[in-house]
Amino acid sequence: MIWHPLTWAFWVAAATGGLLYATGAVQAVDVMLNWTPAHADIDQLRRERHAESAALLGHWALGFLTAAALLGLVGVALVWHRMVPGAMCGTGVLQAMGTDGSRAMIFWGVSLLILHGWRVLDGLDVQRPQGVLTRTGARLMISAAPFFLLAVFYSWQALMRVETVPTVSCCAAVYDRVLSGASESAALKSLAAICLWFSLAGGAALLALMVLKIRFPDRGSGAMPAIIAVLWSFAATVALKQVGSAYYYQVLSHPCPWCLFLPDYYGAGFFIFGGVAVVVMESIAIWLADRTRRRYPVLAGPAGKRIQRSAWGIVTAMIGFTMLALGPAIAWRLRTGVWLNGSP
Amino acid sequence: MMPGTRYPPMVIWAARDIQRHCGRSMLLFACLASLVFLTAMALLFSQALDATWERLMDQAPDLVVRRIDGGGWAPLPVDVAMACAKKIPGVIDPTPRLWGVVPGPEGPVTVVASIAVVPESMLKGIPPPSAGQAVVGQGVARALSGGRLSLGSNHSVTVSVIHTFPADTGLATHDLVWMTPDDARPLLGLVPGQASDLAVHLFRREEERAIQADLAAAFPWPVRITDRSTSALNHHTRAVRSGGIAVVAGIPALLALLLIITGTVVDNTARQAYWGLLKSMGWTTADMVRLQVSRAMIVGIPAVVLGLASAYAAVFYPPAAGITAFWVTGGQHLPALTLVSSGAAMVMIEIAAMVGLPFLAAVFLTTLRAADGSPWTLLQADPWN
Amino acid sequence: MELNAGLVCRGLNFRWPGKNADEPPVLEAVEAVFAQGTVSLVTGNTGSGKSTLMHLLAGLLHPTAGEVWADGQPVSRWPSRHRDPWRRQVGIVFQHLALIPDLTVGENLLLPMIPRPITWSRMQEEIRRQLEDAGLSALADAPTNTLSGGQRQRLAIARALVARPRFVLADEPTAFQDDHHAARICAQLCDIAREGAVVVIGSHDPRLRSFDGIDRRFHLASATLTGAAVNQGAP
Amino acid sequence: MYRPFAEKNYRYPAPCRGARRLLIIAITASMLLGIATAADLLRRIAHQDDGASAWMRTMNFSAPALWTAGSPMRHPETVHPGVDLRFSAGLVTAP
């Protein structure tokens, strides 16, 4: 796999994004340590330039690192399984990568989430010249560094492990999980049911909260939607994997989230999990904007607008997710008169 | 609509800036186009090779069963083998194959004989060989003299060539000599009732590995079973590896060249005063980055498209394709390749990541370095002072 | 001191970086109000610091101490990413003109307009208007390096005014002009001021001292700015 | 002769005609090249090499004829598991 051109494309994107991020983070260190907006000395002027460069570099780095993460995702979901003996989809690739693959994905996600949070704060900070969020923004930008380094480290480990991997059987991995859980099938079933109902109820609650946020962005807590959104994302993922995906595969039980990314299912996984990612990211944006609104009245106006924008984003993403996740199930029910498990 | 209003002013001004520094922009264009051409050619070639293999391997039997003994490969009794294979659930259509590699006039050729009758729809004007006759592939036909072909060393057989397989079947028939089973058996060392091996198709391809143990146990003699997916994996691995090696070998040097040229073009100290003047008129550093990125796009997009189109022509259009094949394979003759749209899309993504992203980053970083100063300091770098 | 109107200097100090602390500063404790709708003239000998004051007012230089306020905002305290876009409200005429020689007259006027959120057609309208005011309509397509000194200066002024700035800072705007054109430039600057802009002219041209369109006159000497209002009827 | 664009262009004091022409050339050339390549690709995909596939299926070949007859990649079924193919002639180094 190390010779696969997509692997090189991934590393080029990650290295270029990493270079931009490192350049920006170095400048942000100076801003974080010595930012003194009341002064007009040469050092502060230099820091002002650094803050501006760091902001530009951060935005570009976020774009490049997102591109790298997407290339990695495309590799795992669509491309690299053809290089792994026995792999049919991303499950086989992750199986070949061992725990390093999952760790790499988690750290990539956390890094991008932190940089997204920084982007939200920077977007608010730039609205007013007082620069009240400049130091916080610099701190947040730098705090992504360890996660990014870990993401790169585990990506390297994972890709190197695949080079010497024996034959895997990703379908077996999926079915083994089903079979090993057979004894606990009742518990599994009830977990799936709980997740399904929580995802429906949580989704409805989140939608209602977002409608309120659009109408009254200056009222209510920002933490509540973020907590609900994060919990909802877990529940929705489990419910989709255990229940919703079956209507895509049209088999009774094939709880594999990675098969959804394959062209056989029109790459639906990209859109479905993309919707979940948008909900989580925008809910964090709401939380950050709400905190900013409360702490810095000078930014109340821009923060309110950001909350409204994020709320619209969440509503759109949730509608898209619901249509894609439940659409095939409803179509099946309408066509056959029963659900896939036979219940009317 | 008034002319000009359809483009954003920043983009028009970027084009005006290109006009002002025409030579440098041409240099950048040439460098970028050649870089994309070289990268894309290697990637498209490996992608096309891979797609071609995948498409053809999809037609191959799922399993091939060969009998082995202490001396190596041994002939397979057809009736026994068929009966054993049919006993295994999931096996469909086991077919004995009569084939082998024998010395030809200019190197080894693949001799095949079809036990079953080839359907008329397949033949499309190709006459099936009778005794003493053969139909040969394009590669073999080149070595013919007087329409007769002598094969084998110990048991030599001479056949008259009655037809040549069409060029568009070359991917399967290039080195082929198709003759009757009776002509082929002496060449291959087989007696009637024996076959070289047994091709097996499965009801569910996913069971390819799972069924091998049952199948091996069903035969009364030791057998060696090869599966389609292992061969396909080998082909795929070789294709992408060779593409990757080509990229890794050539690209870093060219990329470094691109970065240097981009830096030279964008970061010109004589332009610092220009940046300072723009800042004094209300341009921000982000505006300047936008201007330079627009400029890079106006030069870069046509260069990338030209590089891709040239690479496409070099891989798929003779005689350029022949030169490319000669260059990248070291003289091997390669038949026409095919490409799938997903493969082409993947090459586009890889090119965008491997060339586009570093190029944009170079433009961005050099612009930032040049324009990230106080406007007064930048203005001082100017001849008007 | 009223901070909400026009451009205000409050305790403005400036010393070139790297100079010794015991050397005299370029500007010291400058207090001035350049009110909205007025034309202010800053006079002083060559090297007295007029250009430096202009650059400080435009946010091109940073004061060592004190502040510059614009429309009630301490713009000199703003970080660069806010000060740079704020400069879109400023039209500055440099003493050295700072024209791009290989661009045409019209294209030089286009430069300050490009990053603004206005359409291409509107930009062209503004340029046409400004060229007419400057008497350069016939030379729109001419390369800047073919113009005479006077024409170049009128072009520099036109470039400062083309985007209808809130603050106009003109450094020696009549240096290369004959009397007729000097009077015309002064009248043009007065018209801009009457439309609500803040106009500050830095010059040692004696013709300007006697020009009756000036609302306030300042004199810069020994790093200190002194001045008084002339036209009390100014808005 | 009525030339609407020329007249309108003339009204612009800073028309940047050359720059706009350059933009039009860049966009048009890119689009034409892109469309031509895409069209050829689609034509190629629509007329894949069906003849070779059909003979592969009919003759039950295990691999395409991209290597010399007798080489292990051409006839993978002949590769004995005990034989280490460190050196394999042919397309080993070809992309």
C61 touches chain B (CB under 8 A): yes
Q: What is the pLDDT of residue C229?
A: 54
Among A67, A86, A169, select the one facing B353 at the smallest CB separation: A67
Cα C75 from chain centroid (whole Å): 16
Q: What is the pLDDT of residues A289-339, one digit of tens each?
A: 999 999 999 999 999 999 999 999 999 999 999 999 989 999 999 988 888
* Minimal CA separation from B121 to chain D, in Å: 10
Q: Is the Cβ of C139 closer than 8 Å to some Cβ of chain B? A: no
β-strands C65-70, C7-14: how paired?
antiparallel
- Residue C157 pLDDT more than 90? yes
| Euclidean distance between CA atoms A209 and A224, whole angstroms | 9
* Residue A39 CB contacts under 8 Å (≥ 6 apart), including other chains: none
| Cα D50 to Cα A7: distance, rounded to the nearest angstrom | 32
Domain boundary among B193, B208, B226: B226
Contact D64, B53 (CB under 8 A): yes
Encoded tokens for A236: 């929705």
Q: Do D2 and D42 have their domain in common?
A: yes
Per the domain annotation, does B92 fall within a domain?
yes
Find which of B350, B364, B374, B378 to mutate to test the A interface (most A CBs within 10 Å of its CB).
Answer: B350
| pLDDT values of chain D reduced to their tens digit, one per residue, 95 residues | 444 444 444 568 888 888 999 999 999 999 999 999 888 888 877 666 677 888 888 888 888 887 777 777 777 777 665 544 444 444 444 43
Q: Does residue B338 sit in the same domain as residue B287?
A: yes
pTM of the entire structure?
Answer: 0.85
Residue C235: band (very low, low, confident or very high) from pLDDT cuts 50, 70, 90: very low
Give the neighbours of chain D: at least 3 Cβ pairs within 8 Å: B, C
- SS3 state at D64: coil
Question: Do B14 and B70 fall within a single domain?
Answer: no
Tell me how far the alpha carbon of residue D89 is from its chain's centroid.
Answer: 27
Q: In chain B, which residues have their Cβ closer than 8 Å to the Cβ of C102?
A: 20
Answer yes or no: do C110 and D14 touch at CB < 8 A.
yes
Q: Does C63 touch chain A (CB under 8 A)?
A: yes
User: What integer pLDDT is reported at residue B224 of this predicted model?
Assistant: 86
Structure tokens at B106: 């200019």
Q: In this predicted structure, what is the pLDDT of residue B301?
A: 94
Q: Which residues of C touch B277 (CB under 8 A)?
A: 98, 100, 111
Residues D55 and D76 in one domain: yes
Q: What is the pLDDT of residue A146?
A: 97
CB of A110 closer than 8 Å to CB of A147: yes
Mutate: best of D16, D17, D20, partner C, most C CBs <10 A: D16
> Is C79 within 8 Å of A55 when comparing Cβ atoms?
no
Please name the residue of chain B whose CA is at the shortest distance from the CA of residue D89: B332
Range of the domain at D23: 1-48
Burial of A2 (0-12, 13-18, 19+ CB in 10 A): middle
For residues D3 and D39, state if they share a domain. Answer: yes
Q: Which of C114, C116, C126, C172 to mutate to test the interface with B (most CBs of B within 10 A)?
A: C114
Domain boundary among B226, B246, B276: B226
Identify the segments of chain A with pLDDT beneath 70: 1-2, 164-165, 170-188
Q: How far is CA A40 from CA B311, C58, C178, in A?
A: 56, 16, 42
The answer to whether residues B170 and B273 belong to one domain is no
Q: Give the Cα separation of C203 and B370 in Å (integer).
A: 33
Contact B282 C85 (CB under 8 A): yes
One domain, residues B321 and B259:
yes
How large is the angle between the packed helices D17-46 and B341-351, nearest 10 degrees? 140
pLDDT of the residue at B333 = 53
How remote is the C-alpha of B378 from its chain's centroid?
Answer: 51
Residues D36, D66, single domain; the answer is: no
Alpha-carbon gap: D32 to the closest alpha carbon of chain C (Å): 27
Spatial distance between the Cα atoms of B133 and B162, rounded to a whole number of angstroms: 6
pLDDT confidence bin for C234, thresholds 50/70/90? very low
- Note whether residue B344 is domain-resident: yes
Are B32 and B99 contained in the same domain?
no
D38 and D1, same domain (yes or no) = yes
Whether B222 and B250 map to the same domain: the answer is: no
- Check residue D34 and report its DSSP letter: H
Both tokens assigned to B108: 């080894």
- My answer on whether D70 and D91 are in the same domain is yes
Could you tell me how many helices (H) and strands (E) chain C has, helices first? 7, 9
Q: Per-residue pLDDT averaged across B1-12, rounded? A: 69
Name the minimum distance, in Å, from the CA of A40 to any CA of chain C.
Answer: 6
Read off the tokens for B369: 């370095």
Residue B236 CA to its chain's centroid (Å): 9
- Please indicate, yes or no, whether residues D64 and D94 belong to a single structural domain of this protein: yes
Residues B99 and B204 in one domain: yes
Question: Do residues A58 and A138 make contact, with C-beta atoms less than 8 angstroms apart?
Answer: no
User: Which two tokens mark B38?
Assistant: 């070289």
Separation CA A142–CA A17 (nearest Å): 14
Question: By the 8 A CB rule, do D66 and D74 touch?
Answer: yes
Whether residue B4 lies inside any domain: the answer is no
- Residue D41 and residue D15 share a domain: yes
A53 → closest Cβ in B241, B247, B368 = B368
**Judgement on whether residues B187 and B276 belong to the same structural domain of the protein:** no
Helix, strand or coil, per DSSP, at residue B164: strand
Between C219 and A162, residue with greater pLDDT: C219
Q: Do A132 and A291 meet the contact criterion of CB atoms below 8 Å apart?
A: no
**Domain total of chain B:** 2
Q: Can you tell me the mean pLDDT for B274-285? A: 91
Q: Are residues B263 and B334 in the same domain?
A: yes
B303 is a domain residue: yes
Strand order in the sheet with C65-70: C27-34, C7-14, C65-70
Q: Are B237 and A263 a contacting pair at CB < 8 A?
A: no
Q: C79 at the A interface (CB within 8 A)?
A: yes
> Do D5 and D15 have their domain in common?
yes
Asked if the model's pLDDT at residue B209 lies above 80, the reply is no
Shared domain for B285 and B147, answered yes or no, is no
CA distances to B140, B150, B186, C106, D75 from B159, in Å:
13, 7, 13, 84, 24
Q: Within 13 Å of residue C131, how many CA atoms lie on the same side as its CB?
A: 24
Q: Is residue B188 part of a domain?
A: yes
**B99 neighbourhood in chain D, CB within 8 Å:** 59
- Cα distance between residue B42 and residue B347, in whole Å: 10
C90-100 pLDDT per residue, tens: 999 998 888 98
What is the tally of structural domains in chain D? 2
Would an 8 Å CB–CB cutoff place C82 in contact with chain B?
no
Q: How confident is the model at residue B279 (pLDDT cuts 50, 70, 90)?
A: very high
| E-strand stretches of chain B | 63-69, 72-74, 76-77, 91-104, 107-113, 133-136, 148-151, 157-164, 176-179, 194-195, 197-202, 223-227
Stated length of chain A: 344
Contacting partners of chain C (3+ CB pairs under 8 A):
A, B, D
User: Considering only CB atoms, which residues of chain B are within 8 Å of chain C?
Assistant: 2, 4-5, 7, 9-10, 12-13, 16, 20, 273-274, 277-287, 291, 374-376, 379, 382, 384-385
Contact B229, B208 (CB under 8 A): yes
Q: What is the pLDDT of residue D67?
A: 73
C9 touching chain D per CB within 8 A: no
Residue B119 has pLDDT above 60, yes or no: yes
**How far apart are alpha carbons A56 and B372 in whole angstroms?**
11
| Cβ-based contacts of C64 with chain A (< 8 Å) | 40
Complex ipTM value: 0.87
Q: What pLDDT was estimated at residue B3?
A: 46
DSSP state of A342: S
pLDDT at B15 over 50: yes
Interface probe for D, chosen from C141, C155, C159 (most Cβ of D below 10 Å), is C141
What is the pLDDT at residue B287? 92
The answer to whether the CB of B348 falls within 8 A of the CB of B65 is no
Tokens of B3: 């002319």
pLDDT tens for A236-273 read: 999 998 888 888 888 777 788 899 999 888 899 999 99
Eight-class DSSP state of A78: I
Q: Please indicate, yes or no, whether residues B99 and B222 belong to a single structural domain of this protein.
A: yes
Residue environment code for D20-42, b if the CB has 16+ CB neighbours within 10 A, otherwise e: bebbeebeeebeebbeebeebbe
The three state secondary structure string of B313-346 is HHHHCCCHHHHHHHHHHCCCCCCCCCCCHHHHHH
What digits encode the pLDDT tens for the residues C95-154? 888 898 889 999 999 999 999 988 888 899 999 999 998 888 888 889 998 998 889 999
| Contact between C92 and B281 using a beta-carbon 8 Å cutoff | yes
Say yes or no: D5 and D40 in one domain. Answer: yes
Residue at B206 is within a domain: yes
User: Of B304, B292, B288, nearest to B262 (Cα)?
Assistant: B292
| D29 and D54 part of one domain | no
- Quick check: B5 pLDDT over 60? no
C-chain CB neighbours of D15 within 8 Å are: 106, 124
At B338 the pLDDT is 67
Output the pLDDT for position A205: 93
Domains of chain C from N-terminus onward: 7-204 (3.40.50.300)
**Structural domain boundaries enclosing B280:** 10-56+234-379
Please name the residue of chain A whose CA is at the shortest distance from the CA of residue B43. Answer: A5
**Side chain identity at residue C134, one-letter code:** A
Tokens of A33: 């340590």
Nearest to B353 among A9, A57, A79 (CB): A9
